[in-house]
Amino acid sequence: MIVNMEWYRVFYWTAKTGSLSRAAEQLFITQPAVTHTIKQLEAKLGGPLFFRMAKGVKLTTEGEVLFRYIEQAYRFMETGEKMLAEMQNLQSGEISIGASDTLCKHYLLPCLERFHTDYPGIRIRVTNRTTPETIMLLKEGKIDFGVVHMPASDNQLELRVSAPLQDILACGPAYSELGASVLQLGELSDYPLLLLEKSAGTRRYLDGYAKSYGVSLAPELELGSFDLLAQFARSGFGLAFLVREYIQEELASGALVEIPLNPVIPARSIGIATLRGVPQSAAAKRFLELLPLLT
């Protein structure tokens, strides 16, 4: 069993300086206190660790063996302190973020680029998952924070609202005439519909929206990302539910056309999810400061 750690501290500096008086100066205690502590340690370990010389003290053979290990422990502690200081100064460390492919591309990427430029010593790890999966990873402690599509709720999480989002119905040139008039929600069954897979939080949100008006969405194709939905819609496979903020360029160029829908899909947002009551590292705190929040 490890004895009093303070005894080892006194032993270390006595061996390091070779002097009881210099060890006392280093430790800001009296020389008799150093002598008493060494005697206590020797009694506990069952033998002498020093023998006195004309000037100072010298380690016994047993003392030299002990000192090699104590010195190594001190170096490890000093290294640990140095690493912590570097982490606090954002010179080293790691951030683990959970977010979908789409959120990484359209929301996170500018912040990731800026953070990497400012703090190149911080390793960034991004795990791409759907919103429900990201929340599960966060609750399991596998990521520091998650970027999710709202709405989302969980008593274990603190959710802060970031950027606004507006879901819309869109199509490619093959169905562009639909952009000239309002399409009723109930009329969607007359057209091939493209939706995200059922595991996606956005899909659940859209299913809930339609169900509230007595409509069941029956997709002809279910795809794994917004980018695939947009690509299939551009190619004429059908009408797709997309996020306006993610397809601004396609809408401006005419590659995709927004179809007015009645009733309009309620606006939602991107959310920043953290575990309630769990402190963030210095690096994670700095990154979170870069993310915009709606007031």
> Domain with 83 in it: what CATH number?
1.10.10.10
pLDDT value at residue 294: 63
Q: Which pLDDT score is estimated for 237?
A: 97
Question: Which has the closest alpha carbon to 59: 15, 23, 3, 98?
Answer: 15
Question: Does residue 219 have a cis peptide bond before it, meaning omega lies within 30 degrees of 0?
Answer: no
Domain of 149 in residue numbering reads as 96-156+275-290
Residues 26 and 112 in one domain: no
- pLDDT at position 282, please? 87
**Residue 188 and residue 258 in one domain:** yes
- The pLDDT, as a whole number, for residue 166 is 96
Q: Looking at the domain assignment, is residue 118 inside a domain?
A: yes
Q: Tell whether pTM > 0.75.
A: no
pLDDT at 4: 81
Q: How many residues does the chain have?
A: 295
pLDDT at 247: 94
- The pLDDT averaged over each successive group of 10 residues in the chain (295 residues) is 80 93 93 94 92 90 93 83 75 88 91 92 91 91 92 89 94 95 95 93 93 95 93 96 94 96 95 90 89 74
In a domain, 29, yes or no: yes
Which CATH number belongs to the domain containing residue 100 in this structure?
Answer: 3.40.190.10
Q: Does some domain include residue 58?
A: yes
Let me know whether 209 and 245 are in one domain. Answer: yes
For residue 146, what are its two tokens? 């998650």
Beta strands in 46-178 (DSSP E): 50-52, 57-59, 93-99, 122-128, 145-149, 157-165, 167-171
As for how many domains the chain has, the answer is 3
CA distance 132 to 189: 28
CA 247, 250, 255, 261 torsion: positive or negative? positive
